[in-house]
Each structure stands twice: as C-alpha cells, then as structure tokens.
Structure 1
Amino acid sequence: MANSDNTAAVLHAANDLRMESISVPEPKDTEVLISMGSVGICGSDIKYWALGKCGKFVVKEPMVLGHEASGVVVGVGSKVTHLKEGDRVAIEPGIPCRSCNLCKKGRYNLCPGVEFCATPPIDGNLCRLYKHPADFCFKLPDHVSLDEGAMLEPLSVAVYSCKRAEIDLGSTVLVCGAGPIGLLAMMVAKNAGATNIMITDIDEHRLNFAKKMGADHIFKIVDKDGDVVARKVSSILGEPDVTLDCSGVDSSFILGIQVTRPGGKVVRVGGGSPKVELPLTRLNTNEVDLLGIFRYANCYPIALDLIASGALNVKPLISHHFTLLETEKAFLTASDRNSQSIKVIIHCDR
C-alpha cells in the first residue's frame, strides 16, 4: 500500500466538520481495503453537516461522512475471491445482518441491524482509506469511471423507486423534485418505457437541465395554492399512472395524491415531515396506492448495467469537483442554490 495517510472528513456536530487523521483499517477475511476515489455529496450528508441530524438519525459522536462512493482495492482479505488489488469498485454502503427474515426474503434494506455508511453511529467513507465487505463491492468495467461508480448509489435509489412503482411501457409519470434523485428517477422511468414524463421544481435552472436530460414536460411551482398547482399540472400531463415524490416537500406528496389516476401509485422517495395531513377521501375513492421507499435492495447490479451498457449517461449530472481537503467548500457549494450544483463529487485521491 503506497499511502498510509488516512485523512478523513469527520463531523463532530452541526457546522463542525474537521479534517482529521484516523487509523488505517485492517480488512477482515471477507473484506477489502479501498483507496477511496470519488465520493458524492447526498442530501442526507448536507442535513447532518448543517443540522447534526437527518430524520430520526442524530449525530451524537464524531462521524466520518460520505456514502456515495467508489475507489481502488489495495488490500484483499484471505477469503475474497472475486476481487484483487487494483480493481476499481463501487461501494454499496448498507451492510445488513444477512440472517434475519427480511434479509432472507431479499429485503435487506429493511434489516433492523443494517449498518449504513455515514448514518450514526456508523462512519462513512469520505476518507483516504476505507474497508468494506467484499460482497458489497462491485467491480467497475474499464470504461466506467470512478465518478460514475459513485453515482451508482443515488441511481440505485431511482431504480428501486421505479421498480416499486412498476413503471413500464407507456406509463405516464409525474416526478416531483428535480434534484439528483428526481433527475435519475426520470431517466430510469424513461428507460423503463415511460412515454410521458413531467418533472416539477421551484428551481428554473434544474428544470431546464431536466428538459435537456429528457423530460417531456417541466413545471415550475410558483403558486402556494395546492389546488391551483394540481389543476395546472393535470391540464398539461393528464392523470399520471405514477407519481414519484423525490422532493421531500409535503405539498408535492399531496399533489401526487391529487393528480394520480384512479388505481395509480404515489411513491414517497424523498423524506418530509413525519406527519402530513392527506386528502384521504380522494385516496380512498380512487384507490391510489401509497408506497414508501427506504434506500434500495438488489439494485446496484442493475444500476451498473444501465451505466456500463450506455443506456443511461449520468456524467452530465456531475456539476462540481473538489479535493478531499476542500470538503468544507464542497458542502458549501452543494448546499447553495446559487451555485447551480446538481451533484458535487469529492476526490479523495487528490
């Protein structure tokens, strides 16, 4: 191993991010040691950094940030057979127990014992050197970059959301929120056969970007009256078969229930308020299915195939690049709407 320096981005509390040297981890028999390459900044990372918490998860002790990641294998455990030193890998960040009923049924994202990178109290991988179970590392083909490898994590969320929604040929889809997850969900839905897709947001730059990436309709939300918004959306899109709420905004979740066709599905991809007042009469009389999303399961191989085959091009979403020592600047950029950032990548090998 050429470099024993293990600088890491350690969050101590809200607005208290420090670059520190941490110990170099020793991989177990079934693990690999990875020289980290590309790490994307996620909305949850920003919430931890700015607020010290994300939903029910609270930072109570120092934690290394980062979970959208890729790197190069520099050490291999004795029982690892599918990877070798020099392999470039994408890292699926959630490690389940593998033995509970949910894991055995393939829904390991719901495992009560799952350890997920950069979810308190588990450290993430925004550092120089990191170890990870080998079976949750996916070898990248030579033509797939480390940046694209880091994009597999948010892309897996989009894949899982579209699978849960059962989007197929001819589907009409409303995507609420033109952030990275919303944009990727739109792209995956289009690849799955959706032929009429609208994406909504309050940010005109992101909407224009969505149009370039393949949205059939874009809609800027300016009205505060939800009924007015619903009428305008319906007048353009009609009644979508599926609404994917990737905004994390309660009004968008309600919008989905208001406009989705009878028998359709509303998928809450982004987080929001823990309690929301819903239009239950419409929900019941139209038999609209509400579906929740928690991360993903068995989606990394699909996401990798989509990128490796050329079916999806995620490179345009990567708007900004920073070195590891510029992590604070990277977070400031990712959290600033005026920066017009989409996906910010930190390069731990620079």
Structure 2
Amino acid sequence: MQNTMKVAVMRDIGKIEIEERPVPVPLEEEVLIRIKSVGVCGSDVHYFTEGRIGDYVVKPPFVLGHECSGEVVEVGSKVKTLRPGDRVTMEPGIPCGKCEFCRSGRYNLCPDVVFWATPPIDGTFCEYVTHPASFTYRIGEGVSFEEAALVEPLSVGFYAVRRSGIEPGQSALVLGSGPIGLVTLLVLLARGVGRVFTVDIYALRLEKARELGAAEVANAREVDVVEWVKELTGGKGVDVVFETAGSVATTQQTTEVVKRGGKVVLVGLPSQSRIDYDIIKVIDKELDVLGIFRYANTYPGCVDLLNSGKVNLKALITHRFSLEETQKALEFAHQNKAESVKVVVNVD
C-alpha cells in the first residue's frame, strides 16, 4: 500500500490546498479506512468562510469534513469486529468513556470528546484515516458510500426525534428543509408519524420534502406560517415542532405554532446566542423545550434504517465533487443554497 496520501488542507479562510501527508498507522484497537465519500456539512462551510464557530477557532493548517464513509484496509491487533474489505461508516465523535455523561449514556455531552473537523482535530477530507473500531459501523452491500456518509446527519434527526418522544398519530412541524430538516422528516416518517409539515424559503428544498413524504409544505416567503399551521391543525398547533433552520425568526416562531402541552425541539444553531423568546407562552402553554446537541447511541439504529431501505438518503444528494475540488465544493455549498441540498465530495 502507498505510504502517502492526498489531503485537502485549509490553509486560510476560504483557501484549500491539496497536500501530501503520510498515511496514518492504526493503533491496536483502531482500523485504517480508505475514505470514499464525505458530505459537506454546514459547520464545514462556517469554518471555511468565517474561520470559527463560537469558541471553536480554526488555526490553519486544518482539515475539514466529518460526514464520511469508506473501506477498511487494515485492522489493529485487538480488533475482532471488522476486517479488511468491510464497507463502513464512522461516528466522528470519540468520547472519553469515563466522565459522568459517558457513564450515563449521554456521551454527546462529554467535555473531552474528540470530534473530527472541530478545532483542533483534523477531519476527513483526505484519502485515509484511522478510527476506533468501536465507532466504526459496517454497512450493507446495497448501500452506496455516498448514502453511508450521510448517516452522520441522519443521526442528528434520529436523536432529535427520539428525544421528542413523538408517537404515530401525533403531528409535527419541521422548520427548515435543509439536510437536517429533511433527515428529521425521514426519521419521523420511518417512526410512523404521518402528519409531518415542513417549511423553508427555497423551492428546491420544499420539493424534496414533498418528494420524501411531507404531508404539507409551505414557503415562508409566501405564507404566514403561524396561520398556515393553525389552518392545518384546527387552531390548536402541532404536537411537536422541530427547529432545524437555525434562524432567529424560526426559533422565535416555535412557541406560536406548537399546541398547549406540546414540545419544542431546538436543533439548529441561530447566528446569535441570545435572542428574544416568548417565555410567557412557554409557561402558559406548559411547553417542553428540548435542546439537541449532536447525538448519542444513534448509529446502530441509523445504519439499520439505511440498510433496510426505510430512509432515502440518496434523494438528498444534489451535487458531487472530487477531493481535488474540495474548495469548489465548499464554495458551492456556501453560495448556492437555493440550488442544492447536500453536496458530497467523493474521494475515490
């Protein structure tokens, strides 16, 4: 096997260069994986265009990318669950396994988690990575590497829906029909929730939502969303609202569209940390407001959904680029939200 690999390295804000680096060597409980596909996440775009997200600041050189899949090419001496040739998807966050959050099963809250493409940890826009076998999951032969890379965003929707406790027969509103909004829709439908309404400002994304099975869709530029929801629910509001757009306006809207005794699930990250929020409505309606941070214990369930064909992740992919075109991929995802849903970099 070759000793060096190509890596798309962020050298400065808005600047990616292809470099040669040594192929990493797996430790005894790790596997070496040849990367096949990497999804472009909104966080990658933020780091690429702004150099930071909150307190996480990029210090170049840095490698982006964390939604990925690949093929195992080598295993460590203690790895028994995987072997060379296995087609896999990888959970990008590795917790410490020792803190109170890890011990209680909420390892997404581990303060010492090591997460790909979150400074200072390099990501996966490269040809090879090493990864713990325990966070590497085999995928079915009928699943493409592009689909397998999207298990990561699917996990966000899976975790949000699971945390909400929504049941078949209830109604849901998904604010935002980008990749996270659409995977949330897919998980809701797979869970048996038939009345799922979606909102966005881009026609292409609403078309995707309708194609995937949304009961009703609305363009927030054309309709009053609050009045639209009231019409659909007999004036009551939905049982659960999922905010995935990460905008101040939609976050504020959540208390208006949810029914009394309902639930608000906050998935998206607004551009500002402090906003006006109608706490009186939260109290008066006795709402449960849930925050979602990444996910925990979701990958096995998501892989099962994907392997069984119960979710259509392929429909989310609108544009593809090569590893050498990583800069173009990031620029395209940033500049063409109205024309794209999920951009994927195919490494091999």
Same fold, TM exceeding 0.5? yes
Report whether the alignment pairs 1:236 with 2:197: no
Match of 1:313 in 2: 312
Q: Match for 1:268: what amino acid? A: L
Q: Please, which runs of 5 or more residues in structure 1 have no aligned partner?
A: none
C-alpha deviation, 1:334, in angstroms: 1.4
Residue 314 of structure 1: CA displacement?
Answer: 1.1
Over the matched positions of the two proteins, sequence identity in percent amounts to 43
User: Residue 303 of structure 1 aligns to a residue in which SS?
Assistant: helix
CA distance in structure 2 between the aligned counterparts of 1:195 and 1:84, rounded to whole angstroms: 40
Amino acid paired to 1:85? P
Which whole-Å deviations, capped at 9, do the CAs of 1:145-176 have from their partners, x for residues lacking one? Answer: 21111010000001000001111111200100
Judged with a 3 Å threshold, the aligned counterparts in structure 2 of structure 1 residues 338 and 261 are, in CA distance, closer, same or farther, namely closer
The runs of 5 or more residues in structure 2 that have no matched partner are none
Aligned counterparts of 2:335 and 2:309: Cα–Cα separation in 1: 31
User: Counterpart of 1:197?
Assistant: 196
Amino acid at match of 1:243: V
Tell me the distance in 2 between the aligned counterparts of 1:208 and 1:36.
Answer: 31
Once the two structures are TM-superposed, the CA of residue 339 in structure 1 deviates from its matched residue by 6.4
The match for 1:172 is 171
State the Cα distance separating 1:98 from its structure 2 match.
0.7
Q: Which residue of 1 aligns with 2:265?
A: 267
Of 105-114 and 186-195, deviating more is: 186-195
**SS of alignment partner, residue 212 of structure 1:** helix
- Equivalent residue letter for 1:231: E
Q: Which residue of 2 aligns with 1:96?
A: 95
Output the CA distance in 2 between the equivalents of 1:213 and 1:337.
21
Instruction: Supply the AA of the counterpart residue of 2:328.
Output: K
The structural deviation recorded for 1:319 is 1.1
Which residue is 2:323 aligned to?
A: 324
Q: Which residue of 1 aligns with 2:251?
A: 253
Q: Work out the CA distance in 2 between the residues paired with 1:245 and 1:160.
A: 14
**Which residue of 1 is the match for residue 51 of structure 2?**
52
Shift of 1:4: 3.0
| Offset, 1:85 | 0.9
- What SS is found at the alignment partner of 1:147? helix
What is the rounded CA distance, in whole Å, between the counterparts of 1:255 and 1:193 in structure 2? 25
Partner of 1:156: 155
TM-score calculated relative to the size of structure 2: 0.96
Deviation, structure 1 residue 280? 1.1
In the alignment, is the contact (CA less than 8 A) between 1:12 and 1:59 conserved in 2? Answer: no
CA distance in 1, matches of 2:60, 2:330: 20
Q: Partners in 1 of 2:228 and 2:312 — Cα distance?
A: 31
In structure 1, the residue matched to 2:104 is 105
Deviation at 1:20, TM superposition (A): 1.4
Moved more, 338-347 or 273-282: 338-347
Q: How does 1:2-81 map to 2 (within 5 A)?
A: 3-81=2-80
Secondary structure at the aligned position of 1:74 is classed as strand
Shifted more, 335-344 versus 205-214: the winner is: 335-344
| Rounded Cα–Cα distance in structure 1 between residues aligned with 2:36 and 2:302 | 19
Deviation track 1:42-95 (CA, whole Å, cap 9, x = no partner) reads: 000000111111233111232111100011111110000001111111010000
In 1, Cα distance between equivalents of 2:261 and 2:307: 35
Is 2:15–2:327's contact at 8 Å kept on the other side of the alignment? no
- Range 147-156 or range 15-24, more displaced: 15-24
The number of aligned residues is 345
After the TM superposition, list the runs of 4 or more consecutive aligned residues in structure 1 that deviate by more than 3 angstroms: none
AA at the equivalent of 2:186: M
AA at the equivalent of 1:295? R
What corresponds to 2:132 in structure 1?
133
* Aligned-partner residue type, residue 302 of structure 2: A
CA contact (8 A) 2:178 2:245 kept: yes
Cα gap change, 1:213 to 1:221, in 2 (>3 Å): same
Alignment TM-score, normalising by the size of structure 1: 0.95
Secondary structure of the structure 1 residue equivalent to 2:259: coil
More displaced, 237-246 or 104-113?
237-246
